[in-house]
Structure 1
Amino acid sequence: MAHRSIGQERFGFAGRAGASSTLDELGKLIDWMSVAAVLDPLYCAAKGEPAWPPLAMFKALLLSIWYDLSDVKLAEALDDRASFRRFCGFSANEATPERTAFVRYRRLLVVHKLDRSLFDIVTAQLKSKAVTVKTGTLVDATIIASASEDDEEARWVKHKGKRAVHGFKAHVGADADTALVEEVSITSANINDGKASPDALPDNPGEVFADSAYRGNHFRDAVFAKGGVPRIVATGAWGRDEQETLRKLHEWNQPIHRIRGRIEKIFGTWKRSYGLRRMRWRGLAKAAIQVHLTAIDYNLKRTMNILAAQA
Structure 2
Amino acid sequence: MSRRRIGQEAFEFAPDRKNASTLDALSKVIDWALADRRLAMISSAAKGEPAWPPLALFKAMLLAVWYDLSDVKLSEALDDRSSFRRFCGFSRSEPTPERTTFVRFRKALVAQGLDKVLFDEITAQLKAKAIKVKTGTLVDATIIASASEDDADGHWVKHRGRTAVHGYKAHVGADADTARVEEIAVTPANINDGRAGPDALPDNPGDVYADSAYRGDHFGQAVRAKGGTPRIVATGMWVRDEAEIRARLEAYNQPIHRIRGRIEKIFGTWKRSYGLRRMRWRGIAKAALQIRMTAIAYNMKRCLNIVAVAH
How would you bin the TM-score normalised by the shorter chain? over 0.9
Query: Corresponding residue for 1:45?
Result: 45
Tell me the amino acid that sits aligned with residue 43 of structure 2: Y
Please show how residues 252-291 of structure 1 align to structure 2 within 5 Å: 252-291=252-291
Structure 1 residues 210-263: Cα deviation after superposition (integer angstroms, max 9, x where no partner)? 000001100000000000000000111111222222211111100000000000
Please show how residues 125-136 of structure 1 align to structure 2 within 5 Å: 125-136=125-136
Kindly state the Cα deviation for residue 145 of structure 1 after the two structures are TM-superposed.
Answer: 0.1
Please show how residues 209-288 of structure 1 align to structure 2 within 5 Å: 209-288=209-288
**Would you say the 8 A contact 1:66–1:297 is kept in 2?**
yes
Moved over 6 A (4+): none
Kindly state the Cα deviation for residue 208 of structure 1 after the two structures are TM-superposed.
Answer: 0.2
Percent of pairs with identical residues: 70
Tell me the amino acid that sits aligned with residue 261 of structure 2: G
**Would you say the 8 A contact 1:36–1:55 is kept in 2?**
yes
Give the unaligned 5+ runs of structure 1. none
Give the direction of change, closer, same or farther, for the CA distance of 1:18–1:132 in structure 2 (3 Å limit).
closer
Kindly state the Cα deviation for residue 46 of structure 1 after the two structures are TM-superposed.
Answer: 5.7
Equivalent residue pairs, number: 311
Kindly state the Cα deviation for residue 19 of structure 1 after the two structures are TM-superposed.
Answer: 5.6
**Would you say the 8 A contact 2:146–2:278 is kept in 1?**
yes
Structure 1 residues 137-177: Cα deviation after superposition (integer angstroms, max 9, x where no partner)? 00000000000001000000000000000000000000000
Secondary structure (helix, strand or coil) at the match of 1:278 reads coil
Secondary structure (helix, strand or coil) at the match of 1:309 reads helix
Cα distance in 2 between the residues matched to 1:85 and 1:45 = 20
TM-score norm. by structure 1 comes to 0.98
Matched, 1:202 2:194: no
Query: Corresponding residue for 2:124?
Result: 124
**Would you say the 8 A contact 1:156–1:189 is kept in 2?**
yes
**Would you say the 8 A contact 1:43–1:51 is kept in 2?**
yes
Query: Corresponding residue for 1:169?
Result: 169
**Would you say the 8 A contact 1:19–1:82 is kept in 2?**
no
Give the direction of change, closer, same or farther, for the CA distance of 1:131–1:205 in structure 2 (3 Å limit).
farther
Kindly state the Cα deviation for residue 14 of structure 1 after the two structures are TM-superposed.
Answer: 3.7
TM-score norm. by structure 2 comes to 0.98
Tell me the amino acid that sits aligned with residue 212 of structure 1: S
Please show how residues 65-84 of structure 1 align to structure 2 within 5 Å: 65-84=65-84
Cα distance in 1 between the residues matched to 2:304 and 2:10 = 25
Query: Corresponding residue for 1:156?
Result: 156
Secondary structure (helix, strand or coil) at the match of 2:30 reads coil
Q: How large is the RMSD of aligned CA atoms in angstroms?
A: 1.1
**Would you say the 8 A contact 2:147–2:279 is kept in 1?**
yes
Tell me the amino acid that sits aligned with residue 163 of structure 2: R
Tell me the amino acid that sits aligned with residue 102 of structure 1: F
Query: Corresponding residue for 1:144?
Result: 144
